[in-house]
Amino acid sequence: MARQKNEQIRTAIMEAAQQLFMEKGYIATTISSIARAAGTSQSNVYVYFSSKFEIAFAVFDPWLRARVAELEKRVMAQETPEESLRSLIDGLLHGIAADRSGQTLTLVQALATAKPGDEYNPELLIWTMSRIHHMIGGALPSSDPTERNALTHSLMLAFDGIALRQNLRRGEIEDGLSVDALYMMVQALVERRSQARS
C-alpha cells in the first residue's frame, strides 16, 4: 500500500551510531554524523527512529543482553561459590559497568540528557536484575531469599556507581579498590552465614 522501509538502512544507522558513540560518546555524536556514516540524510534518520535517545537504547539494549549472557555462562562454569561470586562481581563491574568500549558512557549520557518525552523500556533493567539474582542463586544455593535480594540490590547499586564514575569522574577513584571492597563485604556476608550454620 505504500513504500517500504529498507531494513538495511535501519541497521546501517544503528551500526554507525554504535561506532560513533564508542568513539566520541553520546553527546558529542551528532545525528548528521550518524546519517553521514550510514549513507543517508539526517532527516531520514527520523523515519527509522523517533529521537537520538531511541537510537542510543536500540544500540545499548542488545549490547547489554549479550554481555550479561556471556557473564552468566562464565559464572555458571565456576566450580566453587567463591569463584562464582568473584567472577560475577568482577565481570559485572570491571567487564560491563566499567567497559572500555564506551557503551555505558552512552547510557549514562543518554539518561542524563533525556528530555521529558524520552522514556525507555524498564524491561531491560528488570531482566538484568533477574539474571544477577539467578547467578547468585547458582553460586549460593542454600542462601535465603533476603540475602539473595540484598546481594542483587547491592550489585546493581555498585553497577550504577561504577557506570557513573567510569564515565564522569574519570580516574579519580581507583575502581579496582571499589571492586575489592565490595567483594570483601560479600565474603563477609557469606562467611557469617556459614558460621551461623556450624
Quick one: cell of 84?
Answer: 562464582
Task: Map residue 107 onto helix, strand or coil.
Answer: helix
Please give the Cα distance from 72 to 75 (Å, whole number). 5
Q: Say which entry of a copy of itself, DNA, none residue 5 contacts (CB below 5 to 8 A, set by partner kind).
A: DNA
User: Measured from the CB atom, is 43 or 187 closer to DNA?
Assistant: 43
Residue found under cell 537504547: 57
Contact between 67 and 16 under an 8 Å Cβ cutoff? The reply is no
- Give the footprint of a copy of itself on residues 5-44 (CB under 8 A): 27
User: Measured from the CB atom, is 79 or 123 closer to a copy of itself?
Assistant: 123
- List residues near DNA by CB under 7 A: 1-6, 9, 28-32, 40-44, 46-48, 50-53, 115
Any contact of residue 185 with a copy of itself (CB under 8 A)? yes
Q: Convert residues 39-78 into a mask of x (bound to a copy of itself by CB under 8 A) and - (unbound).
A: ----------------------------------------
Q: Say which entry of DNA, a copy of itself, none residue 3 contacts (CB below 5 to 8 A, set by partner kind).
A: DNA
Closest separation between CB of residue 154 and a copy of itself, Å? 5
User: Measured from the CB atom, is 3 or 170 closer to DNA?
Assistant: 3
User: Measured from the CB atom, is 35 or 151 closer to a copy of itself?
Assistant: 151
Contact between 147 and 188 under an 8 Å Cβ cutoff? The reply is no
Q: Say which entry of a copy of itself, DNA, none residue 30 contacts (CB below 5 to 8 A, set by partner kind).
A: DNA
Please give the Cα distance from 38 to 9 (Å, whole number). 7
Please give the Cα distance from 45 to 146 (Å, whole number). 47
HSE (CB half, 13 Å, CA atoms) of 87? 19
110-144 exposure pattern, b = at least 16 Cβ within 10 A, e = fewer = beeeeeeebebeeebeeebbebbbebbeebbeebe
Closest separation between CB of residue 137 and a copy of itself, Å? 16
Any contact of residue 130 with a copy of itself (CB under 8 A)? no
Any contact of residue 109 with a copy of itself (CB under 8 A)? yes
